[in-house]
C-alpha cells in the first residue's frame, strides 16, 4: 500500500488515482542465491497496477496505491524473503511540501509499502 494522488489536483488532465511509479521489483531469500528480478511489464503484476508506460525509453508502471503480488513471484525462495521496490523518484508523489516544511521528518511520517497477501 502507498499514498495516492489525483493528478487533476496538480493541474494535469490525467484522471487516474496514482500511487508509486515502479521501475522494478526484486525478491531475495535469506538463504542465498541470486535476487529474483521482476520487470514491471511482467504479466503477473495485475491487481492494483496500471498499464506499462514508456518514459524516455524506460518502462515504468504506476500502482493504484494498493497492489497485490502473486505468490508465484517468490515461490521457491528460502528463509525470510525480502522485497526490494525500485521506484522513479523524479515523478510527483502524493505529498506536496507545505510552504514551511519541518526540517527533520521521522521515517514513520513517510509513506509505507506493505505486501498484501
Alpha carbon distance 7, 93 (integer Å): 10
Predicted local distance difference test score (pLDDT) of residue 23: 93
Predicted local distance difference test score (pLDDT) of residue 108: 52
pLDDT tens, 51-98?
A: 999 988 989 999 999 999 999 998 888 888 999 999 887 776 544 444
Alpha carbon distance 78, 75 (integer Å): 9
**Which has more confidence, 4 or 116?**
4
Q: What is the pTM of this model?
A: 0.71
Rounded to the nearest angstrom, the gap between the alpha carbon of residue 107 and the centroid of all alpha carbons in its chain is 17
Beta strands in 1-117 (DSSP E): 21-29, 36-38, 49-55, 58-63, 81-87
Predicted local distance difference test score (pLDDT) of residue 9: 81
Of 9-13, 79-83, 103-107, highest mean pLDDT: 79-83
Predicted local distance difference test score (pLDDT) of residue 45: 95
Alpha carbon distance 83, 11 (integer Å): 34
Four-residue CA torsion sign, 10, 14, 18, 22? negative
Break the chain into its structural domains and give their ranges. 7-70+77-89
pLDDT tens, 35-48?
A: 899 999 999 999 99
Amino acid at each position: 500500500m502507498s499514498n495516492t494522488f489525483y493528478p487533476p489536483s496538480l493541474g494535469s488532465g490525467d484522471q487516474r488515482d496514482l500511487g508509486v511509479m515502479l521501475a522494478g521489483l526484486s525478491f531475495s531469500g535469506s538463504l542465498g542465491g541470486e535476487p529474483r528480478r521482476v520487470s514491471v511489464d511482467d504479466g503477473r503484476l495485475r491487481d492494483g497496477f496500471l498499464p506499462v508506460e514508456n518514459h524516455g525509453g524506460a518502462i515504468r508502471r504506476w500502482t493504484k496505491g494498493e497492489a497485490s503480488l502473486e505468490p508465484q513471484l517468490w515461490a521457491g525462495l528460502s528463509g525470510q524473503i525480502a522485497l526490494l521496490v525500485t521506484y522513479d523518484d523524479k515523478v510527483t508523489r502524493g505529498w506536496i511540501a507545505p510552504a514551511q516544511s519541518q526540517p527533520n521528518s521521522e521515517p514513520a511520517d513517510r509513506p509505507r509499502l506493505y505486501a498484501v497477501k
